[in-house]
Amino acid sequence: MNGTECVPRSRRRRDRGQGGVEYVAMIGVVAAVVAGIVALTVPEDTAVGLQDAVCRIVNAGDGGEGCDSGEGGGGDDGGGSGGGNGTPEGPPGDPFQPAKCLLSQEQTKDTVVVQIAFIKISGSEQVKLQQWSDGTVTLERVGEGGIGATASISAGIPGLKDWGGSASLSGSYMKGSGSGGQWLFNGNKTGDPQKDLELNLEDARKFAGYLKQNDGCRYQSGYNPGAAMGACQQDAASKKPDLPPERAPDVDITKTSTEAAGSVSFGKSFTKGKGGKDKDGKPTDLGNISGEFGTGTMTEDVVVMRANTGPDAGKITFVYTFSVDAKGGELAQGKATRMQQVAVTYDAATYDQEEKDGKEHRPEKLVITTSQENGAGAGVQAGAGANVPGTPVTIDVGGGGGTIESKIHTESAELVLDNDGDSKLVEDWLRGRGDFPASDALPTPSEAAEAPGSDAGPLERLLHDKAKLSRLDYNANTDWWNASLGIGFGVAAGQVTMGFKLFGIDITHEEKNQTITGDPTYATGPKNGGARPWVEWKNCTQTQPIV
């Protein structure tokens, strides 16, 4: 018996993927701030999950041991997508091989946050352009708005008291909703997936340009739908591709999200007067400069997608996503993200009728996706402030920008539910019924490829026996910038200052490009001993991404 076989299954799971949360663990103090805000402002049913996520972040070094819901299924074997020149081939016509994979993604997101006292109002728009290995391209656009609460606290650093050194912590909780659409470009069918991808991508980019210009037309002539606006729209329409998407939008999207965030920053304040004091012997505040050391964000999203056309026409899919994101560093930026996602598809008409009749639902498909991102790059996030003489009011400005190069490891398990037994099993797991308590950890695709242990649950065994399992690696580049302006109010009590913004505005722009790399693999059927070996994913490697 070798050393690996002697290691308990639970321990092996804890040892996986710890590199993906090193930066998150480094700023665990941020998570503690988030936990405090969550406890005060988030509904109890939501807070339980968020607080457990905080626990796993703070205790990332030991695998999150001691947290209520276990590991949350975020681990992997730390070996990337494996493969290399020694990757074996799967059997011809293997039913376990997924039909396609994501080759490349271009993503742009603009966010505006307005703060009035303790209330935050946000709005964002996100656009994704995705290339797929079967030669198709999708374009997705989702707008989202939200409202929430925020709080902060700052304190002087005793060892740096003489020069005004200070540290501050802040946190926020947001809940929002949004909507959007997805367009499918698959009109070019030459028989060569590579050529189809080139042509469909060209069409998608033209259509994206049309959408952007058409949106801008409404701002012309003071929203006057007259000749000027008509000419603008006609010019935009002339830029549509020769083969537009089958229907726009192909998929109707609605989204709700819950976000809890925290940050930690360090800075220096300045005073004026003889010996740093005014005529009454009190220091006169001039302002401060600061640099942001780290931020942490936990997000829960629920996306509902109703397909109108295409291969999934008449289907409704619920996508549940939980992610933990952290960024650290004042001049050199580091980033780590862990994401867990569950997508469940139903027949839309049947689902609506079951809702009306109060009956249990029967899903037709389950997809579990986990990802882990680590990166670093040059960048800065800093700010400066000034006090209004004779008042506790301050004016602050801030901003920054940078570029982060990162690696993304993604795993997926796709399961078609073709009988009532499997469908009921998955629905019971989703609802926490029967043998599936709500605190059960989310199984990962890597775990599903292992031989099931004696403690494996019904869902783990079902994924192992029937799911299509795959692993991918990506290189990603993220360019971002941020600008903010705020009018604040603070009350000091010794070395501690409690404050809030009377008004603030924060604008962030982010562009992210990711491209597949390494050797994509999938798990073929179970072999002797029960394990499912990883083999070359030919349906993924038949086409190269266009950059």
Same domain, 60 and 193: no
Rg of the chain (C-alpha set): 26
Residue 373 forms part of a structural domain: yes
* 38 pLDDT above the threshold of 50: no
Percent of the residues in the chain that have a pLDDT greater than 90, as a whole number: 32
Same domain, 455 and 329: yes
Question: Confidence band (pLDDT; 50, 70, 90) for 242?
Answer: confident
Query: Cβ atoms within 10 A of the Cβ of 66, count?
Result: 10
| Position 539 in a domain | no
Looking at residue 180, its pLDDT comes to 79
Asked if 344 and 317 touch (Cβ cutoff 8 Å), the reply is yes
Give pTM, 2 decimals: 0.75
Local structure of 449: helix, strand or coil:
coil
Among 220, 245, 270, the domain boundary falls at 245
Q: How confident is the model at residue 331 (pLDDT cuts 50, 70, 90)?
A: low
pLDDT digits (tens, 9 = 90+) for 296-330: 777 778 888 888 877 788 999 999 888 877 766 55
Q: Which of 245, 266, 295 is the last residue of a domain?
A: 245
The model's confidence at residue 362, banded by pLDDT at 50, 70 and 90, is very high
Q: Is the pLDDT of residue 398 over 60?
A: yes
Q: Is residue 371 part of a domain?
A: yes
Q: Quote the pLDDT of residue 96.
A: 96
Distances (CA, A) of 81 to 117, 180, 202, 539, 545: 47, 32, 30, 15, 18
CA distance 248 to 309: 9
Residue 165 and residue 64 in one domain: yes
Q: Is residue 202 part of a domain?
A: yes
CA distance 57 to 16: 15
pLDDT for the residue numbered 532:
94
User: Which comes out higher in pLDDT, residue 392 or 217?
Assistant: 217
Residues 274 and 361 in one domain: yes
Are 385 and 423 contacting, i.e. CB atoms less than 8 angstroms apart? no
Does residue 151 have a pLDDT over 90? no
The pLDDT of residue 25 is: 36
Instruction: Mark whether 260 and 341 lie in a shared domain.
Output: yes
Do residues 270 and 132 share a domain?
yes
Contact 120, 506 (CB under 8 A): no
* Overall average pLDDT of the 366-373 stretch: 92
Q: What is the number of alpha carbons within 13 Å of residue 61 lying toward its C-beta?
A: 5
Model confidence over 158-196: pLDDT tens digits?
554 544 455 556 667 778 787 778 899 999 999 999 999
Q: Which of 245, 271, 290 represents a domain boundary (last residue)?
A: 245
Residue-range definition of the domain harbouring residue 449: 3-95+105-186+246-526
pLDDT greater than 60 at residue 93? yes
Check residues 512 and 240 and name the one with the higher pLDDT: 512
pLDDT band at 333 (very low <50, low <70, confident <90, very high): low
Which residues face 110 on adjacent strands? 125, 509
* Same domain flag for 202 and 135: no
Question: Do the domain assignments include residue 272?
Answer: yes
- In this prediction, residue 262 has a pLDDT band, given cuts at 50, 70 and 90, of low
Residue 393, classed as helix, strand or coil, is: strand
**CA–CA dist 55, 15 (Å, integer):** 17
What pLDDT does 289 receive?
55
Answer yes or no: do 362 and 258 share one domain: yes
Whether the per-residue pLDDT at 381 is higher than 50: the answer is yes
- Considering the domain architecture, whether residues 77 and 217 belong to the same structural domain is answered as no
Which range, 86-95, 173-182, 289-298, 359-368, is most confident? 359-368
Instruction: Kindly report the average pLDDT of the chain as a whole number.
Output: 75
SS3 category, 28: helix
pLDDT at 158: 56
pLDDT at 182: 85
Instruction: Name the more confident of 202 and 338.
Output: 202
- Greater confidence (532 vs 242) lies with 532
Question: Which residue(s) pair with 500 in the sheet?
Answer: 489
Asked if residue 311 and residue 434 are part of one domain, the reply reads: yes
Q: Is residue 157 pLDDT above 60, yes or no? A: no
Q: What is the pLDDT, as a whole number, of residue 507?
A: 94
Q: Are 178 and 239 in the same domain?
A: no
Bridge partners, residue 469, by sequence: 413, 523
Which range, of 61-75, 446-460, 461-475, averages the lowest pLDDT?
61-75
Residue 301: the pLDDT is 82
In DSSP notation, 39-62 reads HHHS-HHHHHHHHHHHHHHHTGGG
Peptide bond into 363 cis (omega under 30): no
Cα 536 to chain centroid distance, Å, stands at: 28
Between 57 and 425, the more confident residue is 425
Crossing angle of helices 420-431 and 458-466, rounded to 10°: 130
* pLDDT grade for 545, boundaries at 50, 70 and 90: very high
Q: Identify any residues that bridge with 170 across adjacent strands, giving them in sequence order.
A: 152, 263
Is position 536 within any domain?
no
Residue 61 — pLDDT band, cuts 50, 70, 90?
A: very low
Of the pLDDT bands very low, low, confident and very high (cuts 50, 70, 90), residue 243 is confident
CA distances from 9 to 4, 82, 477, 521 (A): 10, 21, 35, 23
pLDDT value at 230 more than 80: no
| Residue 72 confidence (pLDDT) | 37
- Other beta carbons within 10 angstroms of residue 359's beta carbon come to 10
From the CB of residue 205, how many other CB atoms can be counted at a distance below 10 Å?
16
Give the Cα-Cα-Cα angle 27, 33, 35 (nearest 5 degrees).
110
Q: Is residue 88 located within the same domain as residue 146?
A: yes
For the stretch 473-497, pLDDT in tens is: 999 999 989 999 888 776 555 444 5
Q: How far apart, in whole angstroms, are the C-alpha atoms of residue 420 and residue 422?
A: 6
Residue 531 within a domain:
no
Q: How far apart are CA 109 and CA 87, in angstroms?
A: 37
**Strands 251-272 vs 284-307: parallel, antiparallel or unpaired:** antiparallel
**CA-based angle 126:127:132, to the nearest 5?**
135
Strand-pair partners of 411: 370, 471
Separation of alpha carbons 202 and 197, rounded Å: 8
61 part of a folded domain: yes
pLDDT value of residue 10: 39
Dihedral over Cα of 182, 183, 189, 194: its sign: negative
pLDDT tens for residues 491-534?
A: 555 444 555 678 889 999 999 999 999 889 999 998 887 899 99
Domain count, the chain: 2
